Amino acid sequence: MDNESNSEPIVIDNLHKKFGDHTVLNGITLHVKRGETVAVLGRSGIGKSVLLKLIIGLEPSDSGSVKIEGQEITSLDLKQLNEVRKRIGFLFQQAALYDSLTVEENVAFPLSRHTNMPVADQLKRVRELLGGVGMEQDLEKMPSEISGGMQKRVGLARALALDPSILLFDEPTAGLDPITAAEIGKLILELKQKREMTAIVVTHDIRGAKTFSDRMVLIHEGNILADGPLAEWQKSKDPFVIQFLKDSS
Amino acid sequence: MKKVRSNVRIADLQIRYVLDIPANWDFGSPAAQSYPGDPPLPTNAISGTFAAPHARGRDLTFKSIFINGLEWFGDLGIFCARVFRAAVAPPYELGELLRQCDIIGAKSLPLVALAGAATGVVLSLQTHDALIRFGAKSLLPAVIVFSIIKESGPVITGLVVAGRVGAGIGAELGSMKVTEQIDAMEASAVDPYKFLAATRVLACILMLPLLTLAADFSGVIMGWLANTLADPISFRLFLDNGFKNVAFSDFIPPTLKTAFFGWIIGIVACFQGMRTTGGTEGVGRSATSSVVLSSLFVILADVVLVRLILMLWG
């Protein structure tokens, strides 16, 4: 790894994405430093989740560059892309736990596929991970038997299973009550402090984002309209930024 | 006149209420028969106000149906190639394959055996009278055995599995798609074409011939039982008469052709499931289309395969 990729594990340059005639991302450029947590905000349907899917290669980009720890992912084949994906944890909006597997099996899924750990060690690791998110009591439950907040916790434990260096969160607090949302926010903050992870968090929760992020990015009409800590946003003269802050408070 | 208008207005408001349609939307002109933000309706589109949302605005000319059909087959071809590549490349998902063999094979067994048994009974009842009328009663065991092992058993098994397993796979993968579970699998660096599709398609290919044997077995037994109730004959004599002229070429090709039915059912159901869009409504559509298309292709494939088998083995 060269110095640049070591200091900036996520480098997005001039990224474009269209769905049919609808332009979603129109030349986004975003560099994320190692250990930094960036919150991505914007109106619904503006392309925040699409940005995360482009970063992990779930959607192909139309043009532009996405580098993960120095590796250009837009030109990789599936095998190479999967190697990059093992270094990224992804928490989906609805947690996306596998319906047919128990909580324990969900978290063990990446371990059983990508490591040579003996089953006993896998189970130990799964318990550690679930203990870290306060879910060690519900190992045998099915995803349908636990609440939305608990599903997000399990999703987070699964995302951490392979000890990734980068984490992507897609609306981790959406649809949760304020107390559970605050608990998830606290978990993100703990991860940031304990593991010094590089993270991008897509969220609508500006108050939570202020707590757990180092920098906030506002996407509007396919471009980044504001980039910096909240204090800098508050100095902006852009009418959309002013309106967004006003409506979020 | 005024009262009639007022009644029409009340009915209109009731429909708007039931369908949750804003009161200010005008259904008067074709241009107004779409939701805000929808693409404009082409003149030859389904323009009924209450058409299903997914059908609204869809072009239904012969040309567009033909092009959509070609696109569907093209996408299916690409999907088959991806599944094949995923299936042959190591590592192999043997645990998941065994789990799918259990779900597709063992759990379909009672239904397939019952369908086979019913076919045997019906064949026995229908042909018994006809053969007596033509003075060929002694041919009854052979007619039942030949009918079941050469055609009824394989086709009934194919159609029953297309219904049970096709719907199951279509709905399961469709639900996984709309809840981002397939994306989550890809994000975990696990190939869903290998883990989800290849295992299900392979399980269908392996299980269909075995299920066909079960359908044949229960069909022959129940055929004998139905015949014995009307006209007693020992089971041994029934089998001797029935299988006297049966060669391996009568039995093996029709049984093995169901592996091809299994491939059709697995691939169509996985394809329809993994391309699901449109939330829970989309899941329902995928389940239905999986059953309809796989049953249709099983019947069409049967016509081609019967001709092929006759050409190769007489």
Range of the domain at B15: 2-56
Report ipTM (2 d.p.): 0.90
Show residues of chain A in contact with B176, CB under 8 Å.
Answer: 98-99
Q: Which residue of chain A has the CA closest to B82?
A: A78
Domain membership flag for residue B64: no
- B152-172 mean pLDDT: 96
Domain membership flag for residue A181: yes
CB-CB: which of B186, B188, B191 is closest to A109? B188
Beta carbons of A96 and B188 less than 8 Å apart: no
CB-CB: which of A82, A96, A109 is closest to B180? A96
Q: Which residue of chain A has the CA closest to B89?
A: A79
| Tokens, residue B20 | 């949750």
pLDDT at A175: 78
Looking at the structure, tell me whether residues B215 and B116 fall in a common domain.
Answer: yes
The mean predicted confidence, pLDDT, of chain B is 83
Beta carbons of B183 and A53 less than 8 Å apart: yes
The chain B residues in contact with chain A (CB within 8 A) are: 175-176, 179-181, 183-191
pLDDT at A134: 86
Domain membership flag for residue A57: no
Beta carbons of B190 and A113 less than 8 Å apart: yes
pLDDT at B63: 86
Q: What is the pLDDT of residues B224-283, one digit of tens each?
A: 999 898 888 899 999 998 888 888 888 899 999 999 999 999 999 999 999 999 888 999
pLDDT at B48: 33
pLDDT at B138: 83
Grade residue B103 by pLDDT with cuts at 50, 70 and 90.
very high
Range of the domain at A179: 34-47+77-248
* Angle at alpha carbon of residue B124, lines to B122 and B126, rounded to 5°: 65
Domain membership flag for residue B63: no
Domain membership flag for residue A66: no
Q: Which residue of chain A has the CA closest to B183?
A: A58
Looking at the structure, tell me whether residues B93 and B143 fall in a common domain.
Answer: yes
Is pLDDT at B26 greater than 60 in this prediction? no
Q: Which residue of chain B has the CA closest to A54?
A: B187
CB-CB: which of B175, B180, B190 is closest to A92? B180
pLDDT at A207: 84
Looking at the structure, tell me whether residues B269 and B297 fall in a common domain.
Answer: yes
Is pLDDT at B93 greater than 70 in this prediction? yes
Pairing state between β A198-202 and A37-42: parallel
Looking at the structure, tell me whether residues B257 and B142 fall in a common domain.
Answer: yes
Beta carbons of B186 and A58 less than 8 Å apart: yes
Weakest mean pLDDT among B4-18, B25-39, B251-265: B25-39
How close does chain B come to A87, measured CA to CA in Å? 9
Of A49, A55, A43, A56, nearest in space to A19 by CA? A49
Cis geometry, peptide bond prior to residue B42 (ω within 30 degrees of 0)? no
Residue A149 belongs to a domain with what CATH number?
3.40.50.300
How close does chain A come to B94, measured CA to CA in Å? 12
How close does chain B come to A62, measured CA to CA in Å? 19
Is pLDDT at B9 greater than 90 in this prediction? no
Which residues, given as ranges, of chain A have pLDDT below 70?
1-6
Is pLDDT at B15 greater than 80 in this prediction? no
Beta carbons of A56 and B181 less than 8 Å apart: no
Residues in chain B: 314
Is pLDDT at B44 greater than 70 in this prediction? no
More confident residue, B61 or B238: B238
Looking at the structure, tell me whether residues B224 and B181 fall in a common domain.
Answer: yes
Beta carbons of B187 and A99 less than 8 Å apart: no
User: What's the total number of domains in chain B?
Assistant: 2
Looking at the structure, tell me whether residues B261 and B291 fall in a common domain.
Answer: yes
Give the long-range contacts of residues A122-129, CB within 8 A, separation 24 or more.
Answer: A125/A161, A126/A157, A126/A161, A129/A157, A129/A158, A129/A160, A129/A161
Is pLDDT at B17 greater than 60 in this prediction? no
Sheet holding A88-91, edge to edge: A88-91, A166-170, A198-202, A37-42, A215-220, A223-228
User: What's the total number of domains in chain A?
Assistant: 1
Domain membership flag for residue B65: no
Beta carbons of A85 and B189 less than 8 Å apart: yes
Element containing residue B84 per DSSP (H, E):
helix B62-88
* Alpha-carbon span B172 to B162, nearest angstrom: 15
Looking at the structure, tell me whether residues B49 and B185 fall in a common domain.
Answer: no
How close does chain A come to B310, measured CA to CA in Å? 44
Residues in chain A: 249
